[in-house]
Each structure stands twice: as C-alpha cells, then as structure tokens.
Amino acid sequence: MDFSVLNEALASKSFNKIADICDNLMLQVAAEGVPFRDEWPFAIHLLGHIYIDDINSARFLWKSIPPAIKESQPEVVAAWKIGQKLWTRDYAGVYEAIRGFDWTQQTQVLVAAFSELYTKRMFELLQSAYSTISIQDAAQFLGMSEEDASNYVLGQGWTVNPTSRMITVTKQAIVKEQKLDPGKLQRLTEYVFHLEH
C-alpha cells in the first residue's frame, strides 16, 4: 500500500485533506481485493474526519472497523472517543478524550492541531451564542483552567467581572471587503426585467 500522499499531507500539515485522501485510498485498495484492514491507519483516518468536523463519516468508519482491530489497537478506540464526545456534544469531554491518551508521534501532530482548532471553534461558538457566561463554564468550553480562560478571553477583548465570576462577551464586527462586480449586477437586473415582462 502506497501511503506517500498521506504522509506528504501529514508532513505539510494539510490536515483538512487527510479524510479525502484516506477515503479514496481505501476505496482503491479495497477494489484490488487485497486484505488491507490490519495495516490500515484507522486512527489517522478517524482523526481526519474529526478535523474537518465530519462526525457522520467518522461514525460510519468506526462502524465498519472489524471488532478484532478495535480490541487490539487502543489508539483507534481513543481516536473514536474524541469523535464520540463530539457526536454527543460533550463539549468538555472532548478535551478529556484528547488528553486522556498517550498518542504515537504521527498521531500526536494531528491531535494537537485538532485541539487548537477545536478551542478556536468553541470560542467562536461562545461568542455567537452567549452575552454573558460564567468563568467556570467558559473554562469548560475552552478546556482551560479558570484563570487561563479568564486571561484568554481578556486577550480577545471580552470583559471579566472577578466578583460575580461572570464574563461579558463582546462581539467583533467582521468587516468583509465588498468588491462589486458590475457584470453580476447587470445579470441580476436582466433577470428582474425578464421576470416583470
């Protein structure tokens, strides 16, 4: 089995491509009729799906893994545990699953990258969903101690009230550059004209 494309992606940190690479490679290898499952990097494959937030595909992949491999490869089970926590929306549990295993070198890189991405995603979720939140909860969502969480959100421009242990969320206005293409407007005008006549 030729894993060069996968290894390249891991080396160049193109983590969002790993799921597709693994999927395509698996279909190809299976079509050759060779038994491949014993040597297949299931942990990396699962984490590839988890990295791009495709928990559905991770779930289906987990279901298709033979029980013998689940019993003999604890890293695969550990990788799925992260996916499971994401599936059940156990926001704090995801961090426990990440930290609760001694990952091999190759997998560690991917797990660390996902952990960083997940923290960022959680922060954005808090920003969009909360106007005020307790330091305790924020710490759980961000996978940090209460002190670290306070400092982190302060650094992002939020305010912390140490007496009430409450954080006030400040939403940043995202200004996206709007470059107008006159051709598009022209087309839309034509549509409206056509529809009205």
Q: 150-158: which pairs have CB atoms within 8 A and are 24 or more residues apart?
A: 152/123, 153/123, 156/123
Rounded to 5°, angle at Cα 16 from 11 and 18: 60
Q: Between 22 and 61, how does the x/- string for binding to another protein read (CB under 8 A)? A: -x--xxx-xxxxx-------------------x-xx--xx
Distance CA 138, CA 151 (A): 11
In the bound state with another protein, the residue whose beta carbon lies nearer, of 55 and 109, is 55
Amino acid at 11: A
In the bound state with another protein, the residue whose beta carbon lies nearer, of 12 and 195, is 195
For 173, the 3-state DSSP assignment is coil
In the bound state with another protein, the residue whose beta carbon lies nearer, of 119 and 134, is 134
Kindly list the distances between the CA atom of residue 64 and the CA atoms of 72, 122, 136, 163, in Å, as whole numbers in the listed order: 15, 30, 39, 51
Smallest distance, another protein to C-beta of residue 165, A: 10
Residue 156 found at the interface with another protein (CB under 8 A): no
Residue 89 found at the interface with another protein (CB under 8 A): yes
**Residue 33 region, left (φ>0) first, then alpha (ψ -120 to 50), else beta?**
left
Other CB atoms within 10 A of residue 133 CB: 17
Residue 186 found at the interface with another protein (CB under 8 A): no
Distance CA 27, CA 47 (A): 18
Smallest distance, another protein to C-beta of residue 32, A: 7
H/E stretch holding 167 reads: strand 166-168
For 73, the 3-state DSSP assignment is coil
Number of residues interacting with another protein: please give it, by CB under 8 A.
38
Smallest distance, another protein to C-beta of residue 46, A: 13
Single residue of 184, 193, 196, 197 touching another protein by CB under 8 A: 184
Smallest distance, another protein to C-beta of residue 176, A: 7
Residues lying near another protein in the complex (CB under 8 A) are found at: 23, 26-28, 30-34, 54, 56-57, 60-61, 63-64, 89, 125, 128-134, 137, 164, 166, 176, 178-181, 184-185, 187-188, 191
